Amino acid sequence: MKRFRARVVVMLQGDMLDPQGEAVARVGREAGLGQIEAVRCGKVMDLLLCAHDEDEARKVVERLRKRLLTNPATEQSEVVALEEM
Protein backbone atom coordinates (compact mmCIF):
# COMPACT_ATOMS: atom_id res chain seq x y z
CA MET A 1 0.00 0.00 0.00
CA LYS A 2 1.12 3.53 -0.79
CA ARG A 3 0.29 6.71 1.08
CA PHE A 4 -1.35 9.63 -0.70
CA ARG A 5 -2.20 13.19 0.20
CA ALA A 6 -5.21 14.84 -1.40
CA ARG A 7 -6.68 18.34 -1.20
CA VAL A 8 -10.36 19.04 -1.85
CA VAL A 9 -11.72 22.59 -2.15
CA VAL A 10 -15.43 23.14 -1.48
CA MET A 11 -17.08 26.45 -2.39
CA LEU A 12 -20.63 27.75 -2.49
CA GLN A 13 -22.08 27.65 -5.97
CA GLY A 14 -21.53 30.89 -7.85
CA ASP A 15 -25.13 32.08 -7.55
CA MET A 16 -25.39 31.39 -3.80
CA LEU A 17 -25.25 34.31 -1.36
CA ASP A 18 -21.95 34.24 0.62
CA PRO A 19 -22.48 36.33 3.79
CA GLN A 20 -19.06 35.39 5.19
CA GLY A 21 -17.34 36.48 1.99
CA GLU A 22 -19.31 39.73 1.93
CA ALA A 23 -18.32 40.43 5.55
CA VAL A 24 -14.63 39.79 4.83
CA ALA A 25 -14.74 42.09 1.79
CA ARG A 26 -16.52 44.84 3.73
CA VAL A 27 -14.08 44.71 6.66
CA GLY A 28 -11.16 44.70 4.25
CA ARG A 29 -12.45 47.83 2.54
CA GLU A 30 -13.09 49.48 5.92
CA ALA A 31 -9.46 48.66 6.85
CA GLY A 32 -8.26 50.71 3.88
CA LEU A 33 -8.02 47.91 1.32
CA GLY A 34 -10.30 49.54 -1.22
CA GLN A 35 -8.92 47.33 -3.98
CA ILE A 36 -11.03 44.40 -2.68
CA GLU A 37 -14.11 44.02 -4.85
CA ALA A 38 -15.43 40.67 -3.67
CA VAL A 39 -14.53 37.65 -1.54
CA ARG A 40 -15.89 34.09 -1.70
CA CYS A 41 -15.21 31.87 1.33
CA GLY A 42 -14.99 28.11 1.22
CA LYS A 43 -13.38 25.08 2.82
CA VAL A 44 -10.13 23.26 2.13
CA MET A 45 -9.82 19.65 3.24
CA ASP A 46 -6.51 17.80 3.30
CA LEU A 47 -6.80 14.03 3.31
CA LEU A 48 -4.25 11.31 3.98
CA LEU A 49 -5.10 7.87 2.68
CA CYS A 50 -3.59 4.51 1.76
CA ALA A 51 -4.25 2.89 -1.61
CA HIS A 52 -2.59 0.44 -3.96
CA ASP A 53 -2.05 3.06 -6.65
CA GLU A 54 -2.99 6.59 -7.71
CA ASP A 55 -6.08 5.41 -9.61
CA GLU A 56 -7.51 3.75 -6.50
CA ALA A 57 -6.64 6.79 -4.38
CA ARG A 58 -8.40 9.11 -6.84
CA LYS A 59 -11.52 6.92 -6.82
CA VAL A 60 -11.64 6.97 -3.00
CA VAL A 61 -11.20 10.76 -2.85
CA GLU A 62 -13.84 11.35 -5.54
CA ARG A 63 -16.31 9.10 -3.75
CA LEU A 64 -15.70 10.90 -0.45
CA ARG A 65 -15.94 14.30 -2.15
CA LYS A 66 -19.26 13.51 -3.81
CA ARG A 67 -20.90 11.61 -0.92
CA LEU A 68 -19.71 13.38 2.22
CA LEU A 69 -17.81 16.60 1.64
CA THR A 70 -20.13 18.45 -0.73
CA ASN A 71 -23.79 19.40 -0.54
CA PRO A 72 -24.66 19.37 -4.27
CA ALA A 73 -27.66 21.64 -3.71
CA THR A 74 -25.50 24.55 -2.56
CA GLU A 75 -21.82 23.71 -3.09
CA GLN A 76 -19.34 22.76 -5.76
CA SER A 77 -16.07 20.97 -5.10
CA GLU A 78 -12.90 19.91 -6.80
CA VAL A 79 -9.90 17.70 -6.06
CA VAL A 80 -7.09 20.19 -6.58
CA ALA A 81 -4.18 17.94 -5.64
CA LEU A 82 -3.40 14.25 -5.29
CA GLU A 83 0.17 13.14 -4.71
CA GLU A 84 1.99 10.11 -3.44
CA MET A 85 3.92 10.69 -0.25
* pTM beyond cutoff 0.85: yes
- In tens, the pLDDT along 6-38 reads 999 999 998 999 999 999 999 999 999 999 999
pLDDT of 11 reads 97
* Residue 72 phi, psi dihedral angles, 5° rounding: -65, -15
pLDDT of 55 reads 97
Portion of the chain with pLDDT greater than 70, in percent: 100
d(CA 65, CA 43): 12
d(CA 35, CA 80): 27
Mean pLDDT estimate for the chain: 96
CATH code for the structural domain at 2-15+41-84 = 3.30.1280.10
